[in-house]
């Protein structure tokens, strides 16, 4: 039997940072499902598809083949055999992913792929609908969140450290807008699964969050 751990939550809650560390400690495969929506978005951007036109999106979905490979412990995403990992975090890609991840055709294609991967190995998968839709029978479900202020401050510090100019109020607004879009879309909106454990990390550092999750997994296994 393969174990699956679902981590859902809003943008900027630290899901991927935490999931990467926990998966390394446990020897699980980390699957960043946001990266799959982003890879689809790269394709739509390259094709010049209008993200507001669902019919146009539907016409192109079947042209997309996405594969995940782990190289030196890092997830790489291949779009029609090309490694697009470097393009995934671009602002433009994030915007396109946010707009196109609400469509049924996009979601069902990626959910199918996510379920297939989870069957083949022990995974920690993070996203918005993992505990509610993708893996409703996951061994453990975590809903990881933090206040808008905390998430905005973390992002602000991250950008400052990279030497980028940024405005805290704008970051806050962007985070609040993304939360609203993720939580209010028609298909698979972001919400805590009934059987998920809520972890609010506003006052926790990374080590504390990792420790809490490892403890939950160990308790469940024993």
Are the CB atoms for 212 and 199 separated by under 8 Å? yes
38 interacts with ligand DC by CB under 6 A: yes
Determine which residue in the list 4, 23, 33, 85 makes contact with ligand DC, applying CB under 6 A. 33
Query: What is the C-alpha separation between 185 and 174, in angstroms, rounded?
Result: 17
Are the CB atoms for 222 and 139 separated by under 8 Å? no
189 interacts with ligand DC by CB under 6 A: no
Report which secondary-structure segment, H or E, holds 75. Answer: strand 74-79
151 interacts with ligand DC by CB under 6 A: no
209 interacts with ligand DC by CB under 6 A: no
Query: What is the C-alpha separation between 113 and 22, in angstroms, rounded?
Result: 22
Residues contacting 198, CB < 8 A, separation 6+: 143, 145, 192
Binding to ligand DC (CB under 6 A): which residues in 43-82?
A: none
Tokens of 103: 């469509």
Are the CB atoms for 38 and 97 separated by under 8 Å? yes
User: Quick one: 31 or 219, whose CB is closer to ligand DC?
Assistant: 31
Q: How far is the CB of 96 from ligand DC (least distance, A)?
A: 9
98 interacts with ligand DC by CB under 6 A: yes
Determine which residue in the list 127, 142, 144, 156 makes contact with ligand DC, applying CB under 6 A. 127
9 interacts with ligand DC by CB under 6 A: no
Location of structure tokens 């539907």: 58
User: Quick one: 187 or 215, whose CB is closer to ligand DC?
Assistant: 187
Determine which residue in the list 20, 87, 109, 128 makes contact with ligand DC, applying CB under 6 A. 128
Binding interface with ligand DC (CB under 6 A) = 11, 33-34, 37-38, 94, 97-98, 101, 127-129, 182
């Amino acid at each position: 039997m393969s174990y699956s751990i679902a981590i859902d939550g809003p943008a900027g809650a630290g899901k991927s940072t935490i999931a990467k560390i926990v998966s390394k400690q446990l020897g699980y495969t980390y699957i960043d499902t946001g990266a799959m929506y982003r890879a689809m978005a790269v394709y739509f951007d390259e094709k010049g598809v209008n993200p507001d036109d669902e019919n146009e999106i539907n016409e192109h979905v079947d042209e997309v083949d996405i594969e995940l490979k782990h190289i030196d412990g890092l997830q790489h995403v291949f779009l029609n055999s090309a490694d697009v990992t470097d393009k995934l975090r671009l602002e433009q890609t994030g915007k396109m992913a946010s707009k196109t991840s609400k469509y049924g055709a996009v979601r069902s294609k990626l959910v199918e792929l996510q379920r297939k991967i989870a069957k083949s190995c022990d995974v920690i998968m993070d996203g918005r609908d993992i505990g509610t839709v993708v893996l409703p029978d996951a061994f453990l479900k975590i809903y990881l969140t933090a206040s808008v202020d905390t998430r905005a401050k973390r992002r602000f510090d991250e950008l400052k450290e990279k030497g980028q100019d940024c405005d805290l109020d704008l970051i806050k607004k962007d985070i609040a807008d993304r939360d609203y879009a993720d939580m209010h879309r028609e298909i698979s909106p972001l919400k805590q699964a009934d059987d998920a454990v809520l972890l609010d990390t506003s006052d926790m550092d990374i080590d504390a969050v990792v420790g809490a999750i490892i403890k939950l997994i160990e308790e469940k296994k024993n």
